[in-house]
């Protein structure tokens, strides 16, 4: 079946690399410095800074061996364009603060999808990755040597968008229709859940593998009847399509999206304290974004040149940017693995608990 071919995505990806210094390396890019000044200034003008200081975590030095402060360490991080928390952590200076006693340099590499991140980690090109749950599961079952140490978001910001002239007023009406979804992404299980709810299977529809951008174009051009996608693409389709498109279903009640942060095992073993410090910086950034959503949105808009409404749609639909995985979120990850197996999106059973380790977050003082 087509859906079993998604691992082929691992072979195709686009990279763009930029390096930002932390700790002893003060050579940050001009754009980052400008945004850092703007967001830091905004932060200090409010009482939110005091809130952050009150909850400031400090990594338990007895929990892990400490890295020699003179050792040069490069942390190679993979992220995607719509993953903002690592960017906030850097722009607000939280990464620099976390590694002030270390000789650490941060390298960000941007990917368009999760599967290529798995491939890059397997080839030794990155140490930390941010992605959806399905790519993480598939990578583990294909020999991936990494651990889930936290999450970067929890949300239900995914929807089933249909053309209003396609005669689709219920999930049952999907029968015989052309439905697009990016194969191998964490959106694909949601498409299967919609079909299951209507008593349908893949054999009852034409599932088409399209990128998020191509879903937008194809549905507006009338080439497909429906698409399963996420923010900010949902808002773009609805805004550009007007009365020609509508939302049939959201992810609410179908799937809670908990998106993992993965760390390569050799890096974890060698730098457990640095991993904990990294999560501490992410937590500060996540807390800041949740307490200052308007500033958080504007910072991304200014730095990345994105549309305000696109960023706002994604930020407003995210329920948490804090990295610690709660019990409810852990259950959502388990459910996600079970769903992936049920719909033959992964090849065998996966006990997610065997690949999750929260001790790094706990050493940073994070938790419920």
For residue range 256-270, list pLDDT tens digits in order: 999 999 999 999 999
134 and 277 fall within a common domain: yes
Integer-rounded Cα radius of gyration of the chain = 21
Considering the domain architecture, whether residues 240 and 144 belong to the same structural domain is answered as no
High-pLDDT (> 70) share of the chain, %:
83
Same domain for 321 and 265, yes or no, is yes
> What are the CA-CA distances from residue 299 to residues 33, 82, 111, 303 (Å)?
12, 13, 20, 6
Q: Is the pLDDT of residue 305 over 90?
A: no
pLDDT at 181 over 60: yes
Lowest mean pLDDT among 135-149, 237-251, 313-327: 313-327
User: Where residue 157 falls among pLDDT bands split at 50, 70, 90?
Assistant: confident
Instruction: Quote the domain boundaries for residue 222.
Output: 158-250
Whether residues 82 and 163 fall in one domain: no
pLDDT tens digits, 10-55: 333 333 333 333 433 333 333 334 344 444 444 444 344 443 444 4
Say yes or no to pLDDT of 326 above 80: yes
Residue 368 lies in a domain: no
Please provide the DSSP assignment of 100-119 as one string.
Answer: TTSEEEEEEEE-SSHHHHHH
Tokens of 82: 């719509």
Report the range of poorest mean pLDDT among 19-23, 246-250, 358-362. 19-23
What pLDDT is recorded for position 368? 62
For residue 286, what are the contacts with CB-CB under 8 A and spacing of at least 6?
85, 88, 320, 321, 322, 323
Is position 188 within any domain? yes
Residue-averaged pLDDT of the chain = 84
User: How many domains does the chain divide into?
Assistant: 2
Range with the poorest average pLDDT among 14-18, 126-130, 240-244, 340-344: 14-18
Of 202, 219, 250, the one marking the end of a domain is: 250
What's the pLDDT at 58?
59
Q: Taking 90 as the threshold, does the pLDDT of residue 174 lie above it?
A: yes
Query: What's the average model confidence in pLDDT over 243-255?
Result: 94
Are 141 and 278 found together in one domain?
yes
**What confidence category does residue 83 fall into, taking pLDDT thresholds of 50, 70 and 90?**
confident
Name the residue among 253, 248, 264 with its Cα closest to residue 335.
Answer: 253
Q: What percent of the chain has pLDDT over 90?
A: 65
Q: Is the dihedral of CA 34, 300, 268, 76 positive or negative?
A: negative
Assigned domain for 51 exists: yes
Of the listed ranges 30-34, 57-61, 212-216, the least confidently predicted one is 30-34
193-205 average pLDDT score: 96
For residue 201, what is the domain's CATH number?
3.40.190.10
Per-position b or e across 169-194, b if 16+ CB within 10 A of its CB: eebebbeebbbbbbbbbbbbbbbbbb
User: Residues 41, 189: one domain?
Assistant: no
Q: Are residues 128 and 96 in the same domain?
A: yes
DSSP β-ladder status, 245-250 and 318-320: unpaired
- The answer to whether 258 touches 211, Cβ cutoff 8 Å, is no
Helix (H) / strand (E) containing 229: strand 226-230
User: Which position has the higher pLDDT, 220 or 313?
Assistant: 220
pLDDT of 170 strictly over 90: yes
* Residue 106 pLDDT greater than 60, yes or no: yes
Residue 89, H or E segment:
helix 85-91
- Which of 61-70, 153-162, 191-200, 245-254 is the least confident region? 61-70
Query: Are 138 and 192 part of one and the same domain?
Result: no
Same domain, 164 and 309: no
Domain boundary among 225, 250, 275: 250
Residue burial 120-139, b: 16+ Cβ < 10 Å; e: rest: bbbeebbbbbbbbbbbbbbb
> Could you tell me the pTM of the whole model?
0.79
Same domain? For 145 and 164 the reply is no
pLDDT for residue 38? 47
- Show which of 193, 228, 250 is a domain's final residue: 250
């Amino acid at each position: 079946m087509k859906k079993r071919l998604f691992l082929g995505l691992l072979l195709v990806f686009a990279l763009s690399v930029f390096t930002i210094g932390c700790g002893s390396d003060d050579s940050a890019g001009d754009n980052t410095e400008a945004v850092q000044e703007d967001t830091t200034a905004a932060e200090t003008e409010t009482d939110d800074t005091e809130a952050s200081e009150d909850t400031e975590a400090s990594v338990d030095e007895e929990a892990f061996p400490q890295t020699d402060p003179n050792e040069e360490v490069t942390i190679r991080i993979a992220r995607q364009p719509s993953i903002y928390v690592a960017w906030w952590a850097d722009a607000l200076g939280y990464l620099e603060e976390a590694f002030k006693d270390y000789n650490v340099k941060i390298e960000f590499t941007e990917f368009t999808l999760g599967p290529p991140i798995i491939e890059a980690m397997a080839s030794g090109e990155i140490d930390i990755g941010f992605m959806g749950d399905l790519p993480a599961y598939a990578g583990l079952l294909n020999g991936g040597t990494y651990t889930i140490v936290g999450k970067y978001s929890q949300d239900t910001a995914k929807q089933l968008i249909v053309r209003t002239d396609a005669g689709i007023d219920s999930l049952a009406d999907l029968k015989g229709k052309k439905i697009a979804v990016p194969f191998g992404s964490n959106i694909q299980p949601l498409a299967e859940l919609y079909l299951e709810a209507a008593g349908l299977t893949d054999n009852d529809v034409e599932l088409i593998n399209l990128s998020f951008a191509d879903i937008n174009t194809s549905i507006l051009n009338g080439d497909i009847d429906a698409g399963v996608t996420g923010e900010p693409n949902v808002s773009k389709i609805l805004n550009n399509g007007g009365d020609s498109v509508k939302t049939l279903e959201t992810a609410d009640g179908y799937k809670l999206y908990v998106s993992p942060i993965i760390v390569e095992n050799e890096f974890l073993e060698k730098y457990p304290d640095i991993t904990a410090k990294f999560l501490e910086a992410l937590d500060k950034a996540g807390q800041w974004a949740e307490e200052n959503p308007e500033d958080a949105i504007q910072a991304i808009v200014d730095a990345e040149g994105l549309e305000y409404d696109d960023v706002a749609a994604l930020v407003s639909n995210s329920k948490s940017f804090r990295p610690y995985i709660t019990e409810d979120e852990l259950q959502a990850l388990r459910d996600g693995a079970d769903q992936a197996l049920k719909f033959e999106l992964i090849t065998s059973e996966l006990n997610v608990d065997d690949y999750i380790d929260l001790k790094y977050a706990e050493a940073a003082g994070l938790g419920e």
